Amino acid sequence: MDEETSPPPAGQLLALSADEGCRRVALALLASTVAARTRLDDPDDRTALHDFRVALRRLRTWLRAYEPYLAGSVRRKHWRRLRDISRLAGVCRDNEVHVAWIRDVEESLRTKERPGGEWLLHQVAERQRDAEAGFRSLLDDKFGRTTEVVGDELAVYDRRIDLRDPAPSRKFAAAAAPLIVAQATALGERLASVESIQDQAVAHSARMAAKRLRYLLEPIAAGVDGGAALVKRLRHLQDTIGEMHDVHVMAEEVIEAAERAGAEQTRRVATALLEGDADADAHHEHARDPRPGLLAIATQLRRRGEAAFAELETRWLGEHASDLTDAARAIVARLTAEPSPPNQRVIAVDKSAEKPVEKPVEVRVDARPAPRADAAAPSVAQPPERPRTPVTAPTHPAAQPGGHPVPRPAPAPAPAVRPADARPADTRPENAPRPAAVPSAGARPGPPKVERPTG
């Protein structure tokens, strides 16, 4: 992708139009996903798969949230490819976490429990190899071409402008506000529905809502008070419920493994009995029984799950279920608050000078991403100054018919000079009306004031 993919600062992003803002962030997230993909080829990079999975999840969440503003830039087949790659990445990452956890647990198992840990590790590692093979195949075949096309479609788009509509284009802040409110409301409702550690499905859906809310807030968190703090709290909640979810998934695997181990152990013992020398073979098979180790692993999983739920219950459930929702609503209120308008002079406009619009005008433009900040700004031609119409002072009145001039009133005598604080003596008779004010002889009528329409 040759287009600039760096996301704008939060303050600048909030002031962009909704179409441009969501696309600029999407391009930045796409670039991060492509960069994380290159790290997958390094076998020594232990966090590459995790970072790729998170980057792709951020991108898909953003594209889904702002789909109405993308005008079909992401085709349906590209949606499916990104979804399939994300799902396989998730399976590989879960297996990777489980393998690492089982290896850590093995050190705490007793001698008779270690066969169970080894047996479970072998099962998960084999499944991990199969999942990684499918993931790599899909990644090599579809990822590069898909991200290239999606990047081109996001970078260039058409915007329809109707000059008859005086309303300004919608800002990104106004577009982000309802999306944040919707995710925050869903998060509060789902947290309020979690009552016990058995509510795993509801807790997981709350984790998904917290994750989506965090992804919506991250690009603008630095531009609004309280944004960074809320993102940090959401990450902590996500990690807490994530611990519960990992324990739940791992526990399901241990249960299935125990069922398979029991069937295999029963078959081996039965085979030893049928082939003779039952005592020695039965004793050997009993020593290889993985079920005690699986039981010990299940016990540790239960303790981890209970500790995670205790933290969740203390900090995020019950009376605290709406804390994050309220914090998100407060941020939205700051985003949508309109600044107080400055004191402006009211200038009268001559409506008669405005020309009526003869016909509506519609312009279809190709609005590409804005140029870099350090690029030279194009010069803007100033409109020519409107010539002023000279105003002629009024002349003396014309003469009356018959050659007799119109009589003019005699000028009033100049008032005598007196001190500034002295008051003139009132020589009028009692109850006499006040005479009208007479303009001074030196005053001449100026040109009439002409109101000009503002433009």
pLDDT tens digit at each of 455 positions of the chain: 444 446 789 989 998 999 999 999 999 999 999 999 999 999 899 899 999 999 999 999 999 999 999 888 899 999 999 999 999 999 999 888 888 888 888 888 888 888 888 888 888 888 899 999 999 999 999 999 999 999 999 998 887 777 776 666 789 999 999 999 999 999 999 999 999 999 999 999 999 999 999 999 999 999 899 999 999 999 999 999 999 988 888 888 888 888 777 776 666 655 665 565 555 555 555 557 788 888 888 888 889 999 999 999 999 999 999 999 999 999 999 988 755 444 433 333 444 444 444 333 343 434 444 554 454 444 444 444 554 544 444 444 444 444 444 455 555 555 554 554 445 555 555 555 555 554 444 445 555 554 444 44
How far apart (Å, rounded) are the C-alpha atoms in residues 346 and 63? Answer: 45
**Looking at the DSSP assignment, which residues form a beta bridge with residue 285?**
none
Amino acid type, 432? A
Angle at 109 between CA 105 and CA 112, to 5 degrees: 145
Residue 109 in contact with residue 296, Cβ under 8 Å? Answer: yes
Tracing tokens 């990690």 back to the chain, one arrives at 239
- Look at the pTM and tell me if it is higher than 0.85: no
Domains contained in the chain, CATH given: 10-156+170-336 (1.40.20.10)
Q: Is the dihedral of CA 161, 162, 163, 169 positive or negative?
A: negative
How far apart (Å, rounded) are the C-alpha atoms in residues 283 and 268? Answer: 11
**Looking at the DSSP assignment, which residues form a beta bridge with residue 160?**
364
Angle at 41 between CA 38 and CA 43, to 5 degrees: 135
